[in-house]
């Protein structure tokens, strides 16, 4: 099976190559694609070197599937060209997520809506993915009315330039390229993406809108505050969930323990709880600090952590491709 990775030289594109190899996705021929300035460069996949090619050359090679991680404007321009050639695109940018004609997929939740006709499939925002993986099984049981979420997001969510900025600041290099307006080391920046007219950031509104679409319930109320912190990889979230129905915390823990893609780390006697350090290079969503909100009825507090480059991006995209392959939709 021919597989194209568009944006193969970036942080997420590189992680896609790694995850494809680790999960033994049946790649018969790899077609790494990147910007014009990267054409001719080499990427490594399963111990072999592959030269980066242009999008036109990749389309001409007719891969079965193309994993995109090259930014929204590139996706808007190139994804339709791939799709018109009969290639299934799984896109990691925000370009298609809220398009009513496109499916927004987290395999553990809503892969069942996919058909062979879906040629552009959207991969959700990293912070949304980890939250809904944990919350959807609880929604099925208790019905969520409202979610209040605050995120603590790592710099790798911005990209290599942000990781370089953090390391430069820690090394005392003050004249390096800046991904953020402000210093990120020893700081917390309460802005991810641009601000919108309602005072929320684009990232915050992504969590609001994408959650409803993935969980297939427009009645869920979501409010978010997203914050960038000086961590290299792994996003953390403090989530407060109000249910329509009463719950028992022990039952909640059992439901989460038996949910696909979720690992419960919740043992206060051992000071065991999810942290980015432990989620690093893992594909699961880690949940802990599971406790009742004692200030109002039917409300739960959770702490949710996941590797944003893996389940938050690359792994989720590869899992979509695996589902399509299993169901013979490719």
pLDDT tens per residue across span 263-310: 999 999 999 999 999 999 999 999 999 999 999 999 999 999 999 999
Average pLDDT for residues 226-246, to the nearest whole number?
98
Say if residue 146 is in the same domain as residue 274: yes
- pLDDT-derived band at 174 (thresholds 50, 70, 90) equals confident
Spell out where the chain has E strands.
2-6, 29-33, 42-45, 48-51, 65-68, 88-91, 103-104, 120-122, 144-153, 221-228, 235-243, 262-264, 285-292, 299-306
Which residue do the tokens 């402000």 mark? 182
Domain harbouring 227, CATH code: 3.30.360.10
Say if residue 155 is in the same domain as residue 26: no
pLDDT number for residue 245:
98
User: What is the average pLDDT score of the chain?
Assistant: 97
Q: How far apart are CA 86 and CA 56, in angstroms?
A: 14
The closest alpha carbon to 247, from 255, 236, 257, 238, belongs to 255
Say if residue 144 is in the same domain as residue 293: yes
CB atoms within 10 A of CB 76: 13
Say if residue 89 is in the same domain as residue 199: no
Q: How many domains does the chain have?
A: 2
User: Is 126 annotated in the active site?
Assistant: yes
Say if residue 109 is in the same domain as residue 250: no
Structure tokens at 1: 């099976």
Say if residue 99 is in the same domain as residue 217: no
109-154 residue pLDDT tens = 999 999 999 999 999 999 999 999 999 999 999 999 999 999 999 9
Say if residue 192 is in the same domain as residue 73: no
User: Is 139 annotated in the active site?
Assistant: no
Report in angstroms the alpha-carbon separations of 60 from 53, 54, 57, 63, 249.
11, 10, 5, 8, 55
State the catalytic residue, choosing from 126, 252, 309, 320.
126
Structure tokens at 310: 């893996």
Average pLDDT for residues 51-56, to the nearest whole number?
97
Say if residue 168 is in the same domain as residue 141: yes
Residue 91 contacts residue 75 (beta carbons within 8 Å):
yes
Say if residue 39 is in the same domain as residue 106: yes
Say if residue 88 is in the same domain as residue 149: no
State the catalytic residue, choosing from 139, 213, 235, 311.
235
Q: Which domain holds residue 75?
A: 2-124+313-326
- pTM exceeds cut of 0.85: yes
Domain harbouring 33, CATH code: 3.40.50.720
């Amino acid at each position: 099976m021919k597989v194209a990775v568009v944006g193969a030289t970036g942080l997420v594109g590189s992680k896609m190559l790694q995850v494809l190899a680790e999960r033994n996705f049946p790649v018969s021929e790899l077609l790494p694609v990147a910007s014009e300035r990267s054409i001719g460069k080499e990427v490594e996949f399963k111990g072999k070197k592959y030269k980066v090619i242009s999008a036109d050359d990749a389309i001409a090679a007719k891969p079965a599937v193309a994993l995109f991680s090259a930014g929204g404007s590139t996706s808007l321009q190139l994804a339709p060209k791939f799709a018109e050639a009969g290639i299934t695109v799984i896109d990691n940018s925000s370009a298609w997520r809220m398009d009513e004609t496109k499916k927004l997929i987290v395999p553990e939740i809503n892969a069942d809506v996919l058909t062979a006709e879906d040629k552009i499939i959207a991969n959700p925002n990293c912070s949304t993915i980890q939250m809904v993986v944990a919350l959807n099984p609880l929604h099925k049981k208790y019905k969520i009315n409202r979610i209040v979420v605050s995120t603590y997001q790592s710099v790798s969510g911005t990209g290599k330039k942000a990781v370089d900025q953090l390391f430069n600041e820690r090394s005392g290099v003050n004249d390096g390229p800046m991904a953020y307006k402000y210093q990120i080391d020893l700081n917390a920046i309460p802005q991810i993406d641009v601000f919108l007219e309602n005072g929320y950031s684009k990232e915050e509104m992504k969590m609001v809108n994408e959650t409803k679409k993935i969980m297939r319930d427009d009645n869920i109320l979501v409010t978010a505050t997203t914050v960038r912190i000086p961590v290299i990889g792994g996003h953390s979230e403090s989530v407060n969930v109000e249910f329509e129905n009463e719950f028992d915390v022990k039952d909640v823990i059992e439901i989460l323990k038996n949910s696909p893609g979720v690992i419960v780390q919740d043992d206060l006697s051992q000071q065991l709880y999810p942290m980015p350090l432990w989620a690093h290079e893992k594909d699961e969503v880690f949940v802990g600090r599971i406790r009742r909100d004692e200030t109002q009825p039917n409300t739960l507090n959770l702490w949710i952590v996941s590797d944003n480059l893996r389940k938050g991006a690359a792994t989720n995209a590869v899992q979509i491709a695996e589902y399509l392959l299993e169901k013979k939709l490719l």
